[in-house]
Chains A and B, each alone.
Chain A
Amino acid sequence: MTASEEFELSDAGLVRAYVITKGRGLPDDDQLSLITLLTAAPEQGQRAPRLSPEEERLLDICSAGYLSVAEIAGHTRLPLGVVRIILAGLTEGGHLVTRPPVPRARKADRAILEEVLNGLYTKFG
């Protein structure tokens, strides 16, 4: 098994829709962690008309590539909790796709740490 296969996310993890009751509670941390990466879902045009201005804004910022939840909060200067709730709703509505971090596991950790170490050597000598 190559390192990259080891960190592949399960389809279920990617596809599993995010279910929160609107207006209640913070999203599940594993699904929208600080470093979960998000981008706008490919199908545009059929965008639901009833997005709030904040939802539009977050969707807009996600439309040109992947950003982490933390970066989205940082760029918009919205409180993290608010950002997570809005992003959860957008994900649930199919407007965003997420790339959650891999769950910690010893084997995956090793491969990732090796990759990080090599990357640091390459970048900084």
Chain B
Amino acid sequence: MVSTPSSADGQRLAERDYVQGGEAQTAVKILVVGHFAVGKTTFIGSISEIEPLSTEETMTRAAESVDDLKGVKGKTTTTVAMDFGRLTISDRVVLYLFGTPGQLRFVQLWEDMARGALGALILVDPERLADSFAVIDLIEQYGLDYAIAVNHFDGNPQRAEAALREALDLLDDTPVVTCDARDEKSSAAALTTLVRFLLDRAS
């Protein structure tokens, strides 16, 4: 038997860091997206069975305008992070949750994340609705089914769902659920709403 290997900071990986029953597991993923500071990392952390991890990628910035790259020696690169968590669903399915801010210029990252995803949960701050337009567009562009989770921050007034639907221009069947990303049960309920919707759509 091998001893447990260590990660970057010299910490030993524990047995629980590994996928339980990995040889029989099918991995699936759901995206948790939303604008800056909407609560993505908090959400993932609240239901992940592992300490949320992040990866960084130095990548070529897709030319928003090709001219931007003209005359630039080499490629324009930038570093982005996405974070993710894991949830063992059963001895057959392990679910990964991937979170990243919605920035269209990180095309490769978005393609990696979106490819094969079951769907997306879009976190929305009702006080900053306009900030969510870009990420909703992006998810639609990738053809992913999604539900909206309104991350309710303390002290803010409750807003009517109808107004929010109208502001975000949602389809009638798009689920909208309120959640507190810091609370495991609340986050799980939002995720459950999404999965139930995805199942309806797949029927």
Using a CB–CB cutoff of 8 Å, the interface residues on chain A facing chain B are 3-4, 7, 9, 29, 33-37, 39, 60-68, 70-71, 73-81, 83, 99, 101-104, 106, 109-110, 112-121, 123-125
Contacts and interface: CB of A to CB of B under 8 A. Distances in A.
Contact of B19 (A37, A83, A113): A37
Residue of B54, B89, B98, B184 with most chain A CB atoms under a 10 A cut-off: B89
A67 B28 CA distance: 13
B19 to A, nearest CB: 4
Residue of B13, B22, B23, B55 with most chain A CB atoms under a 10 A cut-off: B55
Contacts of A29: 111-112, 115
Contacts of A74: 53-55, 84
Contacts, number: 166
A117 B202 contact: no
A123 B95 CA distance: 13
Contacts of B5: 60-64
A80 B188 contact: no
A99 B92 contact: no
B37 to A, nearest CB: 21
Contact of B7 (A4, A75, A104, A114): A75
A120 B191 contact: yes
A70 B26 contact: no
Interface of B: 2-8, 13, 15, 17-19, 22-23, 25-29, 47, 50, 53-59, 84, 86-87, 89-90, 92-96, 98, 111-113, 115-116, 118, 184-185, 188-189, 191-192, 195-196, 198-199, 202-203
B23 A34 contact: no
B18 A106 contact: no
Contacts of A3: 92
Given A63-B5, A115-B90, A33 B195 contact: no
Given A65-B15, A124-B189, A115 B92 contact: yes
Contacts of B98: 34, 70
Given A65-B19, A117-B192, 15 more contacts: A33-B112, A33-B116, A34-B29, A39-B23, A60-B5, A66-B23, A68-B86, A71-B86, A75-B17, A81-B59, A99-B23, A101-B28, A115-B92, A116-B118, A124-B184
A106 B86 CA distance: 23
Nearest to A107: B202
Given A37-B25, A74-B54, A101-B28, A120 B93 contact: no
A109 B118 CA distance: 8
17 contacts: A7-B92, A7-B93, A35-B29, A61-B13, A63-B5, A64-B2, A67-B18, A76-B8, A79-B55, A80-B112, A81-B59, A101-B29, A116-B93, A116-B195, A119-B93, A120-B192, A124-B47
